[in-house]
Structure 1
């Protein structure tokens, strides 16, 4: 299984260290950091490609639920909390699992199996290269394979667990995160400008402090953590 980047956020030190110790037992988990403060975690997550959030809910300042609302495009969120009454609300926020404390390793192991199944499903539905020339790819949409010419793709847009592959003629919805698509060799001509957007470099017409204008006059926002990706235009 691929290497998965995760972040742990819990204001209770014992609970935070418990999650950390369990996570370290899984070699495919790359732990980017552990945080007692949601705002500090948010700053780190916005600067990195994160696959999994392990979040407490009841925290001072920004709660775990609020943090998830800020980070809806992170593929997997696991809530670990002492408050089962938040379960319904949490699952409205694309939650893969909800664990009630105290956390036991057997329960965490079960969650890891769910995470593995989730990413395997996403990878099976992701893009693969076609052997028909160098400018043609196939996208899996449901049970169909749609042929798309790479040079016609304007931009990619993250939409929860899906990515919109947008051309001037059509929008293709693919069951794969924008991060996974951008790891494909076929998308090396794209630049990530926002947590939710990546554009094809050849279609960039103008750039200002907060957005990019494509050559069809479409404006796409620039995320503050991604401005360095645009230095090649300066």
Structure 2
């Protein structure tokens, strides 16, 4: 599932792109924001992590081009605008695509195809590291690096500009975004269940309502936009009776 975020100060354009995303299999809309400063805060703090961020170029307070320069290390940027003259500036910021308004659904899908192609090399790099079953992180203690074994992780929590990795024995804080950590964890064992939480699936004990209880006793909230994906994973492992009443 490719997560998407839309930033546009024009409400109609925001609604059109949001609808396109919601109607496209394999895409998940995790947020839509009219204020670029609010969007910057959400992404920079790690509260929101999107595979793709659709940015309107011409916005007050902070232009899409300037915003892209601040976040393009954390997300793949696709620009949207009614002004073709911005194309050169857009690609200077490493945007994968440039969608000219009004955006047709067909053109939107072509853009998604380009994004998928650009994401493949990125996803191939962590795959090698995932086979090792661990990574090292730099902690908030100067000069200290800690090895983190995947099997020991209970959950990962976003903490403004940092993330906290909870293991059975300690809490480790490091200056990384949720997206950066998520890319290095095997998708078969870890799932994003909330904008601020990633859980280790083998440690999930119960799921009830919007709460996930882990075998460690920790309770993690489940966000509504992540609920379907998590329940699909559970359903794949659900023991079902073949008896007919």
1:32-47 alignment runs, 5 A limit? 32-46=30-44, 47=47
Show structure 1 runs of 5+ residues with no match. 132-136, 138-184, 191-198, 217-222
Q: Could you tell me how far apart the structure 1 residues matched to 2:130 and 2:30 are? A: 34
> Does residue 57 of structure 1 match 2:57?
yes
- Residue pair 2:87, 2:98 contacting (<8 A) in 1 also: yes
Distance 2:43 2:164 in 1: 16
Q: Deviations over 1:111-167 (max 9, x none)?
A: 111112222233234432698xxxxx4xxxxxxxxxxxxxxxxxxxxxxxxxxxxxx
Indicate how the Cα distance of structure 1 residues 126 and 229 shifts in structure 2: closer, same or farther if over 3 A, else same: closer
User: Equivalent residue of 2:5, what SS?
Assistant: strand
Runs of 4+ residues deviating >6 angstroms = none
Q: CA deviation at 1:28?
A: 2.2
Q: Which residue of structure 2 aligns with residue 225 of structure 1?
A: 160
After superposition, the CA RMSD in angstroms is: 2.7
> Partners of 1:31 and 1:75 in 2: how far apart?
14
Query: TM-score, normalized by length of structure 2?
Result: 0.56
Contact 1:53–1:74 (CA under 8 A) maintained in structure 2:
no
Unaligned stretches of 5+ residues in structure 2: 146-157, 174-245
Aligned counterpart, 1:214: 143
Secondary structure at 1:213's aligned position in 2? Answer: coil
Structure 1 residue 225: deviation in Å?
1.4
> Counterparts of 2:20 and 2:128 in 1: how far apart (Å)?
34
Compute the TM-score of the two structures, normalised by the length of structure 1. Answer: 0.59
1:11 aligns with 2:24: no
Q: In 1, distance between residues paired with 2:125 and 2:172? A: 33
The corresponding residue for 1:186 is 134
CA distance in structure 2 between the aligned counterparts of 1:115 and 1:59, rounded to whole angstroms: 23
How do 1:103-118 residues align onto structure 2 when only pairs under 5 Å count?
103-118=103-118
Q: Residues 55, 186 of structure 1: CA spacing in aligned structure 2 closer, same or farther, 3 A cutoff? A: same
Alpha-carbon distance in structure 2 between the residues aligned to 1:129 and 1:232: 22
Deviation at 1:108, TM superposition (A): 0.2
Query: Higher relative contact order by CA 8 Å / sep ≥ 6: 1 or 2?
Result: 2
